[in-house]
Amino acid sequence: MIQSGAPTTQPNALEAVRELCSQFEDLPPEAIFKEDMLRRGIAFQEAALRVAASFKLKSYFIFSFDMRPLKDLDQEENLRAPEEIALIDGPSQFRRTIVSVRINPDSPYEVVVDPKNEEKLILTCCSEHVSNVELQKAPPHYGHSLENGKPLTEMVPTIEWGYLVYLTVYRKCQYFGFKEECRFCDINENFRQQKAAGRPYNTVKEVDEIIEALEILNDLDKEKVTGAYTITGGSVTKKLRGKNEAEFYLQYAEAIEKKFPQRWLSKVVMQALPSDDLKRFKDAGVQIYHPNYEVWDKRLFSLICPGKEDYIGRDEWMRRIVEAGKIFGPSRVIPNFVGGIETAPPYGFDTVDEALKSTGEGLDYFMSQGITPRFTTWCPEPLSVLGKDNGPAPLEYHAGLLRLWRDTLVRYQLPAPPGYGNPGVGNAVFSVSAFMDVIDPKTPLG
């Protein structure tokens, strides 16, 4: 099986990433560092957490995206670490690069206080100063609550440097247990650990609560920093509050678009649903659909997503993605996959080349039809089946994937995927992988 990443404390991690930057000269070095930080996580010095505490904090918007369980975070990083950091300037002369924070106290990447100015932060790798770090102020609606007392940080958190309102309206998934849950996913376990730690998670957010929260957000968002929202949550295989999956998520889209028509770009993450269901979302005003396929390879899909394989089936899933393109328009169907799980033992490919070849087949299949998949960088969360026993995918895989994804996009002359803000290094805000950072900014926006 593939060597899935070296120990996270290896002393030459910085040399390794610099070496890879020189092998991938056609990619921005910022993007390669970003992928390395996403796959390895970030440590925080105690003093840096004190500085971060007055900025926008990690909201745990759906999964944990951490590399340690909450109970093992000795500095209470879960309550004090920022949602995202911006890498900028410093010795590497980085153009502004937004990185989602995945906490890992063992990471070679550490955010520390600048020794020359204790109010400023810097990023180190193996104790060497790599870049300066900026944090985002908490948006105006953070600190407010609904009339019933529920905090807006839980109801309507924002990510992507404030661009995307993330509406996890169902915080669990009905794919449950070893035979059904996707093996990289910790949604149900994260729900349990967050509740146990006292975070005000709600299993289901009520429609009227979401509307009330968006009203407050919208009133306070004078500069219109938020540009899109995503309705998301776990899969509904049976019924939830008497509704099937389409009916359950549709009620939110309908209510939001009725109250705030076209105020935001409207996006929905759901399973690959039949066309008749999807037409109702389109009619409600939803513009972008994410039927996430997670992994392309047929064998890996059945092993890593056993619930999806049993309930819908891999071939039907892929067929429905293409069908969805006829409803929303191909460029507005953007299925996600989890970049890196192709390599994870015990099921994954033996070599980076084989993993990339398989992923590339999927990109080719969809992009040749005008549909642009995108990826999040796999975070081996310890409460997930695959993350419990594995380190991250090799950085060579992630760098190769960035090149492959960008080259396939260019080959089919496709626009930058809509709904992610501006593309290009220095401009991109999408924080859980670097696909937007590697697009040539001259590529037209979709």
Chain positions contacting ligand SF4, by CB under 6 A: 173, 175, 181-182, 185, 187, 234-235
Nearer to ligand SF4 among residue 33 and residue 296 (C-beta): 296
198 φ/ψ sector (left φ>0, alpha ψ -120 to 50, else beta) = left
CA–CA separation, 44 vs 139, rounded Å? 22
* Closest to 401 in 3D by CA, of 350, 358, 446: 358
Nearer to ligand SF4 among residue 27 and residue 187 (C-beta): 187
Sign of CA dihedral 50, 60, 418, 423: positive
* Shortest Å, Cβ 240 to ligand SF4: 13
CA–CA separation, 345 vs 355, rounded Å? 12
Nearer to ligand SF4 among residue 187 and residue 273 (C-beta): 187
Nearer to ligand SF4 among residue 285 and residue 382 (C-beta): 382
Distances (CA, A) of 184 to 202, 355, 389, 390: 23, 17, 11, 10
Beta carbons of 402 and 438 less than 8 angstroms apart: yes
Distances (CA, A) of 42 to 3, 180, 281, 324: 21, 30, 38, 37
Beta carbons of 125 and 108 less than 8 angstroms apart: yes
Nearer to ligand SF4 among residue 217 and residue 341 (C-beta): 341
Q: In what order do the strands lie in the sheet with 94-100?
A: 43-44, 109-114, 117-125, 128-134, 84-89, 94-100
335, amino acid identity: P
* Shortest Å, Cβ 190 to ligand SF4: 10
Nearer to ligand SF4 among residue 85 and residue 432 (C-beta): 432
CA–CA separation, 179 vs 310, rounded Å? 9
Residues 6+ apart with CB under 8 A from 407: none
* Shortest Å, Cβ 175 to ligand SF4: 4
* Shortest Å, Cβ 187 to ligand SF4: 4
**Phi and psi for 89 in degrees, rounded to 5?**
55, -140
Residue 2 has which token pair? 């593939």
Beta carbons of 70 and 78 less than 8 angstroms apart: yes
Beta carbons of 51 and 113 less than 8 angstroms apart: yes
Nearer to ligand SF4 among residue 176 and residue 365 (C-beta): 176
* Shortest Å, Cβ 312 to ligand SF4: 10
Nearer to ligand SF4 among residue 226 and residue 433 (C-beta): 433
Residue 342 has which token pair? 């192709």
CA–CA separation, 444 vs 21, rounded Å? 26
Nearer to ligand SF4 among residue 110 and residue 181 (C-beta): 181
* Shortest Å, Cβ 337 to ligand SF4: 11
* Shortest Å, Cβ 318 to ligand SF4: 16
Q: How far is CA 301 from the centre of its chain?
A: 19
* Shortest Å, Cβ 275 to ligand SF4: 20
* Shortest Å, Cβ 234 to ligand SF4: 4
* Shortest Å, Cβ 384 to ligand SF4: 9
Residue 11 has which token pair? 């002393």
Nearer to ligand SF4 among residue 173 and residue 401 (C-beta): 173
